[in-house]
Structure 1
Amino acid sequence: MLNIAQTLLSWCRDARPFALATVVDVHGSAPLPIGTAVAVDADGNAVGSISGGCVEGAVYDMCRQVLRERGAPHRSRFGYSDDDAFAVGLTCGGELDVLVQTVDPTTQPHIGAALDEVVQGLPVAVAQVVDGPVGLLGATLSVLGDGQVISGTLDNGSVDTAVVDEALALLRTGRTARVALCGTEQGGAGPLSVLVHVHTSRPRMLIFGAVDFAAALSQAGAFVGYRVTVCDARPVFATAARFPYADEVVTDWPHRYLERTDVDSRTAVCVLTHDAKFDVPLLRLALNLPAGYIGAMGSRRTHDERLRLLRQEGVSEEQLARLCSPIGLDLGARTPEETAVSITAEIIAHINGGSGLPLSQGTGPIHRTVPQRRPSPSASALKPS
């Protein structure tokens, strides 16, 4: 539901009930991931997409029916039909499980509060029961990034506690996922599957070197959802006017800036200076940090010399193995714009575990399925189902 937060927040503020159809499971190749949603209000207005067009009509009709009847949540599976090419289904060959339920903002105010956090760009998780006892199906609970439960409840007990723990764990990774739970031996809710919708702040892309390639990369990085920072020690080049797509432009020595900025597993560090006096101290520091991607621009000769200097500085072979250099995928890129596509493509492949090969050379599903998350040991009252 967080993919359509802006519109849903508007409906919640107007106290307008709506039907929400959510992708709660994916089998094989499917166009959109779990957590993607469509919503329909009482006037028939629709927002969102769950299949790129394959099953939208059928889901829309289900939403209208559920909203009209105000009945229990309804779950359906859509897949490809070999017997009838015109049947409702996914031509990509995959299968989607869709949960359709009614949301009434007047009785579920925490949904609007969570959506407001999303629109403001703040971290929040909304846990939604997608499989389990009929009385709990579709129930929701919202958690802020600091662990505060906005409102909503599943059972006011051990299940709530475990779901909050799992929501916070997923917020730290920035990943939407399903969690399998089972109730306590003291009459708990029974086996449950909870889909935790996660919204976090944008991941960071740190670009070092205020060059033409950085201008193109900052645009590409912003396009794919990064919060982009461009840093260079030369004030004449590090100006906001030269990098209109960057969220911030910093004038400082790269390694000094990196020392005082936040880096996590979603951060992409792109070193475009190819100047040893900047690169070596910067990369020596970066390779000790938990960044998800670290790449450096330069020819193969520059790369070899850079490795020699880093080894002299005590950087281990294990650390050097994390360095993507020369930066980017081999696309035959020449212009700054083409090079930006090459770098961005490598970052996407690196972060998501992609091969970087043409899809025509691969086999199996195009879209990777994220495994269902099992509870962490902190959820002591529950066991994996």
Structure 2
Amino acid sequence: MRDIVDGLLAWRAAGTEFALATVVNTWRSAPRQPGAAMAVNASGEVIGSVSGGCVEGAVYAAAQEVLETHKAQTQVYGVSDGDAFEVGLTCGGTIEVMIQPSSALTDPDEVLRAIAAGHPVATVTVPDAQMVVWPSSVSGSLGDPELDRQAAQQAAGLLAHGRSAIVQACDREVFVQSYAAPPRMIVFGAIDFAAAVARIGRFLGYHVTVCDARPVFATPARFPEADEIVVEWPHRYLETTEVDERTVLCVLTHDPKFDIPLLQVALHTPARYIGAMGSRRTCEDRVQRLREAGVPDAALSRLRAPIGLDLGARTPEETAVAIAAEMVALSWGGSGAPLTDLTAPIHGS
């Protein structure tokens, strides 16, 4: 829902009622993941998407009905439905959409402002009620104290990992949507490839930092898409900044005086992805230097070098796509193989 927060805040400021449609569950090749949202206001304006265009017309009609009745609905759209082709869901998947009137939302202004600011918060939703779980408090109720307790516990765990899911609480299904701070991408080396990687990192939803020890190269003018520019020796910066299991590290310096001390630090962090640029000869020499510096093979096995998937990339932009593709594949267990050659489900569990 992050992509429609600004629009919802504007509607709230204007006192405009709206219906919020949220994808709460998917099966098979669903076009959007749980948490995707679309809103329709009392004037008929629409923001967001729940299916990339497949069933928006049907959801729009349901949202208008919710606005009239002030009663929430849950709708399921899939190819097994008799009218599935009519409403446009032809991709082979199934989605479940919960549609609520804005009056049913708990603390909407506080929640929307927190999401916009990147502060952690989770919403726990059933069709007719909502609870909000903050890192240190809970507001609202699902209508039963024990249901609230169980749901809040599960939501706190999901929020800590930045995950959203349908969970069971008191034999009921509740939808937990967590809004954790965006994951970090730290790009080391203020080169032309770094500018392209920063752009695609921002597009993918990362908070992007570019770090280089050379102030003449590490400037906001050269990296307008970066959220942060740091002028510091890379290994010193990495020693002092926060790195968690969602962080990705892209080492594009391919200069031993920068990347050897940097990777010695990086390979001992919990970062999800650590990739380093360079030719095969450069990468082999780098691994040897790291071994001589005492980095164990178990740590070296985490290093993706040369960085990126084999896409035949040549330009900085193409290389950034190859790097992003490898990060996505590693995150979700993808093979990187052409989908044409595979028979497994497109969207894994």
For normalisation by structure 2, the TM-score amounts to 0.93
Which stretch has the larger CA shift, 299-308 or 321-330?
299-308
Provide the secondary structure at the position in 1 that maps to 2:87. coil
Deviations 1:230-278 (A, max 9, x none): 1112223222222222222222111111000010111110111112222
1:150-196 Cα distance to aligned partner (Å, 9 max, x none): x31124623323322222222221222221122xxxxxxxx111111
Question: Is the contact between residue 248 and residue 274 of structure 2 (CA under 8 Å) also seen in structure 1?
Answer: yes
| 1:124 and 2:121 are equivalent in the alignment | yes
Return the alpha-carbon distance in structure 2 between the equivalents of residues 308 and 170 of structure 1: 40
Looking at structure 2, the residues matched to 84 and 58 of structure 1 have their Cα atoms a distance apart, in angstroms, of: 10
Distance 1:219 1:84, change over 3 A: closer
Matched, 1:313 2:312: no
Partner of 2:188: 208
Q: Specify the alignment match of 1:42 in structure 2.
A: 42
- Amino acid aligned to 1:290: P
The residue identity in structure 2 corresponding to 1:55 is: V
Higher RCO (CA < 8 A, seq sep 6+)? 1
Inter-partner Cα distance in structure 2 for 1:241 and 1:66: 48
Amino acid at match of 2:128: G
- Please say if residues 36 and 50 of structure 1, whose CA atoms lie closer than 8 Å, have aligned partners that are also in contact: yes
Displacement of 1:78 in angstroms is 0.9
Q: Is the 8 A contact 2:254 2:276 kept in 1?
A: yes
Match for residue 157 of structure 1 among 130, 133, 145: 145
Change (3 A) 1:237 1:299: same
Deviation at 1:46, TM superposition (A): 2.1
Whether contact under 8 Å (1:231, 1:249) holds in the other structure is yes
Whole-Å separation in 2 of the counterparts to 1:141 and 1:156: 11
CA apart distance, 1:358: 1.5
Contact 1:78 1:89 in 2 (8 A): no
- 1:286-301 alignment runs, 5 A limit: 286-301=266-281
User: Within 5 A, what are the aligned runs for 1:329-340?
Assistant: 329-340=309-320
1:355 pairs with 326, 329, 335, which one? 335
Q: 1:253 to 1:128 in 2, by over 3 A?
A: same
The letter of the residue matching 2:118 is G
3-state SS of 1:240 partner: coil
DSSP-derived class of the 1:343 partner: helix
Q: What do residues 122-159 of structure 1 show as CA deviations (whole Å, max 9, x unaligned)?
A: 22111112xxxxxxx33111122x3222x311246233
Residue 276 (structure 1) aligned with residue 275 (structure 2): no
Counterpart contact for 1:30–1:90, Cα < 8 Å: no
Write the letter of the residue equivalent to 1:265.
E
Q: What's the secondary structure of 2:95's corresponding residue? A: strand
Residue pair 2:24, 2:165 contacting (<8 A) in 1 also: no
Query: Unpaired runs of 5+ in structure 1?
Result: 130-136, 183-190, 370-385
Contact 2:2 2:116 in 1 (8 A): no
- Give distance in 2, aligned partners of 1:241 and 1:101: 44
The separation in 2 between residues aligned to 1:164 and 1:85, in whole angstroms, is 35
Residues 81 and 87 of structure 1 are in contact (CA less than 8 Å); yes or no, is this contact kept in structure 2? no
**By how many angstroms is 1:84 displaced?**
6.9
CA distance in 1, matches of 2:191, 2:210: 10
2:179 is aligned with 1:180: no
The CA distance in 1 between the partners of 2:14 and 2:29, in whole Å, is: 37
Q: Sort the Cα spacing of 1:298 and 1:53 in 2 relative to 1 into closer, same or farther, 3 A.
A: same
Q: What amino acid sits opposite 1:113 in the alignment?
A: E
Structure 2 vs 1, CA of residues 108 and 208 (structure 1 numbering), >3 Å: closer, same or farther? closer
Amino acid at match of 1:67: L
Aligned residues: 349
Q: How far 1:83 sits from its partner (Å)?
A: 7.0
1:91 Cα deviation (Å)? 0.4
Instruction: Measure, in 1, the Cα distance between the counterparts of 2:294 and 2:235.
Output: 16
Q: Is the deviation greater in 76-85 or in 34-43?
A: 76-85
Does structure 2 conserve the Cα–Cα contact (< 8 Å) formed by 1:79 and 1:89?
Answer: no
- Quick check: 2:106–2:130 contact (8 Å CA) kept in 1? no
Aligned-pair CA distance for 1:85: 7.6
Aligned residue among 137, 160, 184 for 1:148? 137
Contact 1:255–1:278 (CA under 8 A) maintained in structure 2: yes
Contact persistence 1:80–1:89 (CA under 8 A)? no
The answer (yes or no) to whether the contact 1:26–1:94 under 8 Å persists in 2 is yes
Aligned to 1:258: 238
Maintained 8 Å contact 2:249/2:274: yes
Describe the shift of the 1:231–1:127 C-alpha distance in structure 2 as closer, same or farther (beyond 3 A).
same
**Contact kept? 1:214, 1:272, Cα under 8 Å:** yes
- Could you tell me how far 1:297 is from its partner in structure 2? 0.7
Which one has a larger percent helix, Structure 1 or Structure 2? 2
Paired residue secondary structure (1:180): strand
Partner of 1:65: 65
Asked if 1:114 is matched to 2:114, the reply is: no
SS at match of 2:86: coil
What amino acid maps onto 2:189 in structure 1? Answer: G
CA RMSD across the alignment: 2.0
Question: SS at the partner of 2:114?
Answer: helix
Amino acid paired to 2:159: L
